[in-house]
Amino acid sequence: MPFELKKFSSTNPISKLIKLTQDDRQKQFVKLLSKSCQKGDTVIYYLTLNNDICGFVGLSASKIDTIPCINIDYIYVAESYRKIVYNDLDNKKISEYIMSFCLSLSTDLKNSIGFRWLVLTPDNTELEKFYIESFKFIKYKALKEKITYLFIAI
């Protein structure tokens, strides 16, 4: 099978992930995520196609207000793999497959530990629109911090 999903847990994967982007903003997020993974705060799941990393997601536990959540820290798809629909991913793009995996994993976890929502903070309005339209996330913009949160109940 050419696609494989693997994970980094309690290690620092920066050398494998940082080379996926040339963008300084994205590199900063990768550094932050890798540190969090090393500390054990985040687990990074990464998808490979013929052993080439095509995308990854960092997941952690968090609390928003008093609501226990699974947090999507950061999702990234390598530029050369974006916007392509793959038959092997059930006719989905890599971003859609990764999000579906997050929802599926969250459902599994909910049977073992208590939490209510999956949450993410989109990096831009285009992504915000994608998550709301494709996955029916509910938006909340915290006025004080000016941060947009997207929630879906699991």
> Which residues are near other proteins by CB under 8 A?
1, 3-7, 25, 28-29, 31-33, 36, 41, 45, 47, 60, 62-65, 67, 71, 73-74, 88-90, 92, 97, 99-101, 103-104, 107, 116-117, 119, 121, 123, 135-136, 138, 140, 142, 145, 147, 149, 151-154
Q: Closer to other proteins at the Cβ: 65 or 83?
A: 65
CB of 76 to other proteins, least distance (A): 11
CB of 147 to other proteins, least distance (A): 6
CB of 15 to other proteins, least distance (A): 18
DSSP strand pairing (67-77 vs 117-120) = parallel
CB of 78 to other proteins, least distance (A): 16
C-alpha span between 116 and 129 (Å, rounded): 22
Q: Closer to other proteins at the Cβ: 79 or 107?
A: 107
Burial 52-64 (b: 16+ CB within 10 A, else e): ebbbbbbbbebee
H/E stretch holding 125: helix 125-135
> Would you state the torsion angle of the CA atoms of residues 138, 105, 8, 122, taken in this order, to the nearest 10 degrees?
-10
Phi-psi region of 90 (alpha: psi -120 to 50; beta: other; left: phi over 0): left
Q: Closer to other proteins at the Cβ: 15 or 135?
A: 135
